[in-house]
Copies of this chain bind each other. A is one copy, B any other.
Amino acid sequence: MTTPNPRVIFAKIPEAAQGLGGLPLPGEHLVYDDSPVIDLENVPLNGGFLTKMLVLSPEPALRERMRDPKLQSYTTPFILGAPVIGFGIVVVLRSEKEGIKVGDYMYGQTPWEAYTVQPYIEVVPNPGGAFPLTRYASLLGTPGLSAFVGFEGLAEAAPGKTIFVSAGASGVGSMVVQLSKLKGMKVIASAGTDEKVEYLKSLGADVTFNYKKESYSSFLAKNKPFQVYWDNVGGEALEAAIEHIEPFSHIVCCGSLGDYQRAPEERYGIKNTTLIFKRRLTIRGFLVPDLIPKFAGKFFAEIPALVAQGKLKGQESIIEGLENAPDAFLKMLKGGESVGKVVVVVAKE
């Protein structure tokens, strides 16, 4: 007996000429395909296990993989015609693997399809505990972990300092805002809608602004000093932060949301890099896996408890159905409309 096994296919490279700019459009670059079927009872496991997708997490890093394979980058490119692969939470339906049993919740990089036979992903710690599973795609997932390891490792955070966080209402940004407040820092944070600015205030941000109403540079000129800048945006925000940050400050480059929609040649050009030495700045970039060995233990020791105690909050913008995953991805990349981390709930057990 077969069951439908729909999936989301990487069908076309956005802006093929460059491969790294432009938005992937649902139905064109990311295509929902409901034609595959699977025999859940008899599909060979080859020593692995069969999982059912429950939750998937659309994240900016996936955009990087939707590129011309000739372009080098920090991730392997997706294969045209194959499913998108991203962070997801699954439940085990059958298993031939020692230590993994039916009903286990697991998470990690997994294809965007309803059912998958896979060799290994990680066991979810504490499933069915104090958190809904979607938390593992937000506060306790990639965004939360990214924020935590970068903040611990590179931000030189300290009580009394002021931090500026761009895209402060994003999954990563909202976590950085809250970690900074827990650390005893003053927080300046920006977002692109008034609703998000309100959200920032609810998270404890001290000074907030809507960068679509007042430019980064104009606002920071009036609201400095600050000694740490957490960059989720790049471009204009990074230039404004370099322009107004205190000497001997630290900038953490975590993302460039402002650049994902643009081809490389259309990106904003930063003209004030001469201030890097005049201000004696330290600018560091990281990707989550670099810092996981050093800080993941601390993350899992501290953060779930803070979430359970309500000391760390995080809104989620939940979208239902695998068929809507391409739209959810686009919504996340474009930002704007929704407050909170975009999470796709594919199935409820």
Mark A residues whose CB is within 8 Å of B: 64, 73-74, 234-235, 238, 247-248, 253-256, 259, 264-265, 267-287, 290
Evaluate contact between B271 and A264: CB separation under 8 angstroms. Answer: yes
Secondary structure at the A interface, as helix, strand, loop or mixed, is loop
A-B pairs with lowest CB-CB distance, top 3: A269-B269, A277-B285, A276-B285
Q: Which residues of B contact A264 (CB under 8 A)?
A: 271-272
Evaluate contact between A285 and B290: CB separation under 8 angstroms. Answer: no
Interface centre among A238, A273, A279, A287 (most CB of B within 10 A): A273
- What are 6 A-B pairs at a CB distance below 8 A? A264-B272, A269-B270, A277-B286, A277-B287, A280-B284, A282-B283
Interface centre among A234, A255, A264, A285 (most CB of B within 10 A): A285
Interface centre among A248, A259, A274 (most CB of B within 10 A): A274
Q: Determine the distance from Cα of A284 to Cα of B278 in the docked complex, in whole angstroms.
A: 11
Q: Determine the distance from Cα of A68 to Cα of B52 in the docked complex, in whole angstroms.
A: 66
Evaluate contact between B286 and A273: CB separation under 8 angstroms. Answer: no
Evaluate contact between A273 and B247: CB separation under 8 angstroms. Answer: no
Residue on B nearest A289 in the bound complex, by CB: B280
Evaluate contact between A277 and B265: CB separation under 8 angstroms. Answer: no
Residue on B nearest A284 in the bound complex, by CB: B282
Q: Which residues of B contact A235 (CB under 8 A)?
A: 273
Partner of A287, one of B74, B278, B282: B278
Q: Which residues of B contact A248 (CB under 8 A)?
A: 290
Partner of A274, one of B267, B275, B277: B267
Partner of A64, one of B278, B279, B290: B278
Partner of A268, one of B269, B275, B287: B269
Q: Which residues of B contact A290 (CB under 8 A)?
A: 248, 280
Evaluate contact between B74 and A278: CB separation under 8 angstroms. Answer: yes
Q: Determine the distance from Cα of A290 to Cα of B247 in the docked complex, in whole angstroms.
A: 11
